[in-house]
C-alpha cells in the first residue's frame, strides 16, 4: 500500500515538474497573438520598478517596449509579468513568458538551460552593504562572517567557496534588509546597483558600501533554447536601439551612472550599421 | 531515466549544504519534539486538577498556537520580538542584536505549536482512563501525584501514542518552514541547490526521499515504543 502511494506521488511530481514542450518558434507565436510576454523585475530600480503611479517602468522595461515595437509595431503590445531571481527561468521554460528581461546576468551555468540575447548592460556583481563603523574593505576579510543574502543569487556559491562567507539567505529583499537593520548579520551581500539605490533611501544614512564588487557581469535577455528566429529578431531590435543611442537615453532617464560599456556598444552598433 | 541529472550531488559544496540540512532538520525536530512532549504532559497534567482558571489559560494557549499558522508564529518570534525590544548588546561591536537566533526562534515556535497539539493528544489519553480504575486507585490510598505517576500516565500514554505519532510526524515536516527564517535545514539546503543548479526536479525528488526516510524512522521509533509498552486492553 505504502509503496503504491509512493509511486503515485513520484509520478505526479514528475508530471508537475516536466518542462512544457513548446515548439521553438516563439516569433510566429507572438505575431499570431499580437502580444509579447516579458518577465521583468518590478522591485529593482533602475532596471524595472513601480513608479509613483503604479506603472512598471525602468531601463529594461523601456528596452522591452522598444523590442515589442520592433516586432509588433507598437510599444504597448506587451504584457509585463513580474518575476524574481529564483523563478524566472522556470517561467521561461514552462512557456509562461516569451523572454526574460529581468537583470539576468550571463553565466555559463545558465547558458546550459537557456539562450541569451545580445548583452546590453555590464552590471557590477555583488558588493557588501554594512554599517558605517565596520572596518573591513576586502572580500577576504569576510571569511566566516554572518552575511545576509538572497536565495537564488547567482554569486551565492562563489562567495561561499571563494571568500568563505557564512550566508544567511532570505527569499525576499525586505526580510533581508530588516534582518540587517536588526543586526542579525554584520553585512549584506547583493547586486551593487540595488544596494547603491538602497543607500539613497531614508533610514539608510548609517550604512555604506563596505566592499566593492569583485566582478562585472554582462546582462542579457533570456530565451528558450533553440528559438533562433526569435533570438535573431530580438538581437536586431537591441542593436538598432543601441545604434540610435536609446540605451544612453534610458540611462539618463533612469538616473544610472554613465557606463562606458553602453557607450561602446552604441558606437559598435553604429559602426556595424554603416 | 527521464533525463534526470544528479551530477550536482558530486559537488562538495552541495554535499556540505545537504549534510548540514539533514543535521539541522534532525536537531530542530528532536529539540522541538522533546519540548512539545514536555509542554503536552504539563498541560494535560494541569487539566486533571479541574481548576477553572488553569483550564481557561491552557485552553487559550492551545487555541492560540494550534489555530494560527506555524509559519506566522516563526516570523513573529524571528522579527517581531526584536522590534519590540527583545535585544541585547553585543560585547564586541556594542550594537543591539536580537536576543534569540533564527534556530532558537524556530525551536521555540515549533515547541509551542507542537506542545499545543500534544496537550490535546495527552488530554484525550487522560480522558480515556476509566473512572473505575481511578476510584479503585484512590481507595488504595494513592496521593494525587502518585495517582498521576503510577496510574494515569501509564494508561494514558499507551492510549495516546497513535495520536502522538500524528503530532510528531507533523511537527517533523513543519520544520521545513524554518527555511523562511534562514535556518539552514533540509528545505533551505534544497532551495540553495536548485536555485544554483536549476535541477529543481532532481533536488525535490532527493529531499522527498530523505523526508520519507526520516519521517518513517520517527514512525518506526514510536511504533517500537508502542509495542514495547503494550499490554492487553490498552492501545495497540
pLDDT of A26-47, one tens digit each? 999 999 999 999 999 998 889 9
Give the mean model confidence (pLDDT) for residues A69-86: 94
The β-bridge partners of A56 are: A50
- pLDDT for residue A21 is more than 90: no
User: Residue B192 and residue A156: Cβ atoms within 8 Å?
Assistant: yes
Contacts of B82 (CB under 8 A, 6+ apart): A182, A184, B98, B99
Would you tell me how many other CB atoms lie within 10 Å of the CB of residue A248? 17
Compute the distance between CA of residue B218 and CA of residue B165 in angstroms, rounded to an integer.
8
Whether the CB of B1 is below 8 Å from some CB of chain A: the reply is no
Q: In b/e form, how buried is each residue of B100-133, taking b as 16+ CB within 10 angstroms?
A: bebbebbbbbbbbbbbbbbbbbbbebbeebeeee
Give the mean model confidence (pLDDT) for residues A95-119: 94
pLDDT category at A101 given cuts 50, 70, 90 is: very high
How far B225 CA sits from the closest chain A CA (Å)?
Answer: 22
Residue of chain A whose alpha carbon sits nearest to that of B13: A161
Q: Which of A152, A178, A179 is facing B195, going by the closest CB pair? A: A152
Residue of chain A whose alpha carbon sits nearest to that of B183: A168
pLDDT at position A12 is 59
* Contacts with B, A 146-175, CB within 8 Å: 151-152, 156-157, 160-161, 168-171, 175
- pLDDT for residue A254 is more than 90: yes
pLDDT at position A193 is 87
Least confident of A8-17, A73-82, B152-161, B225-234: A8-17
How far B171 CA sits from the closest chain A CA (Å)?
Answer: 21
Give the mean model confidence (pLDDT) for residues A247-257: 92
Q: Which of B98, B188, B208 is facing A184, going by the closest CB pair? A: B98
Question: What size, in residues, is chain A?
Answer: 274
Inter-residue contact B20 to B189 (CB < 8 Å): yes
Whether the CB of A7 is below 8 Å from some CB of chain B: the reply is no
- pLDDT for residue A167 is more than 90: yes
- pLDDT for residue A96 is more than 60: yes
User: Residue A182 and residue B79: Cβ atoms within 8 Å?
Assistant: yes
How far B193 CA sits from the closest chain A CA (Å)?
Answer: 9
User: Residue B98 and residue A89: Cβ atoms within 8 Å?
Assistant: no
Between residues A124 and A188, which one has the greater pLDDT?
A188
Contact residues, chain A, for B192 at CB < 8 Å: 151, 156, 169
How far A146 CA sits from the closest chain B CA (Å)?
Answer: 12
* Contacts with A, B 87-116, CB within 8 Å: 87, 90, 93, 95-98, 102
Whether the CB of A52 is below 8 Å from some CB of chain B: the reply is no
User: Residue A14 and residue B201: Cβ atoms within 8 Å?
Assistant: yes
Most confident of A109-113, A186-190, B121-125, B221-225: A186-190
User: Residue A89 and residue B198: Cβ atoms within 8 Å?
Assistant: yes
User: Residue A184 and residue B197: Cβ atoms within 8 Å?
Assistant: no
User: Residue B198 and residue A184: Cβ atoms within 8 Å?
Assistant: no
Contacts of B234 (CB under 8 A, 6+ apart): B155, B158, B159
Cell of A104: 539576468
- Percent helix, strand and coil across chain A, each rounded to 5? 40, 25, 35
Between residues A198 and B236, which one has the greater pLDDT?
A198
Compute the distance between CA of residue B134 and CA of residue B147 in angstroms, rounded to an integer.
8
Give the mean model confidence (pLDDT) for residues A152-161: 90
pLDDT at position B236 is 47
**Residue B128: half-sphere exposure toward Cβ, Cα within 13 Å:** 19
User: Residue A169 and residue B196: Cβ atoms within 8 Å?
Assistant: no
* CB pairs < 8 Å spanning A and B: 68
Provide φ and ψ at A114, rounded to 5°: -140, 170
Whether the CB of B180 is below 8 Å from some CB of chain A: the reply is yes
Q: What is the mean pLDDT of each run of 10 residues along chain B (236 residues)?
A: 84 94 97 96 88 95 95 93 86 84 95 96 91 93 90 88 93 95 95 88 96 95 89 63
User: Residue B191 and residue A182: Cβ atoms within 8 Å?
Assistant: no
Amino acid at each position: 500500500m505504502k509503496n503504491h502511494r509512493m509511486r503515485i506521488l513520484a509520478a505526479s511530481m514528475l508530471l508537475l515538474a516536466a518542462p512544457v514542450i513548446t515548439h521553438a518558434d516563439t516569433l510566429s507565436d507572438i505575431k499570431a497573438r499580437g502580444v509579447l510576454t516579458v518577465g521583468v523585475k518590478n522591485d529593482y530600480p533602475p532596471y524595472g520598478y513601480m513608479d509613483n503611479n503604479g506603472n512598471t517602468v525602468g531601463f529594461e522595461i523601456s528596452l522591452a517596449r522598444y523590442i515589442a515595437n520592433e516586432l509588433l509595431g507598437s510599444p504597448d503590445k506587451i504584457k509585463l509579468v513580474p518575476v524574481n531571481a529564483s523563478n524566472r527561468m522556470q517561467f521561461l521554460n514552462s512557456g509562461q513568458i516569451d523572454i526574460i528581461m529581468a537583470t539576468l546576468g550571463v553565466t555559463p551555468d545558465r547558458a546550459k538551460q537557456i539562450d541569451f540575447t545580445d548583452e546590453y548592460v555590464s552590471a557590477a556583481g555583488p558588493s557588501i552593504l554594512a554599517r558605517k563603523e565596520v572596518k573591513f574593505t576586502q572580500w577576504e576579510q569576510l571569511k566566516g562572517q554572518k552575511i545576509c543574502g538572497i536565495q537564488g543569487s547567482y554569486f551565492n556559491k562563489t562567495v561561499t567557496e571563494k571568500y568563505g562567507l557564512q550566508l544567511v539567505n532570505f527569499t525576499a529583499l525586505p526580510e533581508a534588509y530588516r534582518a540587517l537593520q536588526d543586526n542579525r548579520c554584520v553585512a549584506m551581500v547583493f547586486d551593487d546597483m540595488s544596494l547603491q539605490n538602497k543607500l539613497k533611501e531614508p533610514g539608510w544614512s548609517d550604512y555604506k558600501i563596505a566592499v566593492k564588487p569583485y566582478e562585472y557581469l554582462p546582462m542579457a535577455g533570456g530565451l528558450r533554447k533553440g528559438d533562433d528566429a526569435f533570438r535573431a529578431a530580438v538581437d536586431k531590435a537591441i542593436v538598432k536601439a543601441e545604434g540610435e543611442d536609446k540605451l544612453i537615453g534610458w540611462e539618463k532617464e533612469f538616473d544610472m551612472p554613465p557606463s562606458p560599456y553602453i557607450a561602446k556598444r552604441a558606437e559598435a552598433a553604429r559602426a556595424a550599421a554603416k | 531515466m527521464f533525463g534526470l541529472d544528479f551530477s550536482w550531488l558530486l559537488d562538495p559544496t552541495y554535499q556540505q549544504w545537504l549534510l548540514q540540512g539533514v543535521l539541522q532538520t534532525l536537531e530542530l525536530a528532536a529539540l522541538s519534539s522533546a519540548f512539545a512532549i514536555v509542554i503536552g504532559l504539563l498541560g494535560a497534567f494541569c487539566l486533571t486538577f479541574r481548576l477553572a482558571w488553569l483550564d481557561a489559560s491552557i485552553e487559550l494557549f492551545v487555541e492560540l498556537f494550534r489555530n494560527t499558522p506555524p509559519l506566522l508564529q516563526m516570523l513573529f518570534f524571528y522579527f517581531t520580538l526584536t522590534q519590540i525590544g527583545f535585544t541585547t548588546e553585543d560585547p564586541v561591536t556594542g550594537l543591539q542584536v536580537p536576543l534569540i537566533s533564527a534556530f532558537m526562534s524556530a525551536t521555540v515556535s515549533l515547541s509551542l505549536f507542537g506542545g499545543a497539539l500534544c496537550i490535546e493528544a495527552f488530554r484525550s489519553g487522560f480522558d480515556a482512563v476509566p473512572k473505575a480504575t481511578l476510584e479503585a486507585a484512590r481507595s488504595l490510598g494513592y496521593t494525587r501525584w502518585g495517582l498521576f505517576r503510577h496510574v494515569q500516565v501509564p494508561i494514558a500514554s499507551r492510549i495516546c501514542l497513535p495520536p502522538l505519532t500524528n503530532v510528531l510526524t507533523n511537527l517533523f515536516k513543519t520544520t521545513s518552514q524554518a527555511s523562511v527564517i534562514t535556518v539552514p535545514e533540509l528545505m533551505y539546503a534544497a532551495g540553495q541547490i536548485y536555485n544554483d543548479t536549476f535541477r529543481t526536479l532532481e533536488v525535490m525528488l532527493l529531499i522527498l526521499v530523505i523526508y520519507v526516510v526520516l519521517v518513517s524512522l520517527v514512525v518506526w521509533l514510536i511504533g517500537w515504543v508502542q509495542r514495547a509498552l503494550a499490554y492487553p486492553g490498552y492501545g495497540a
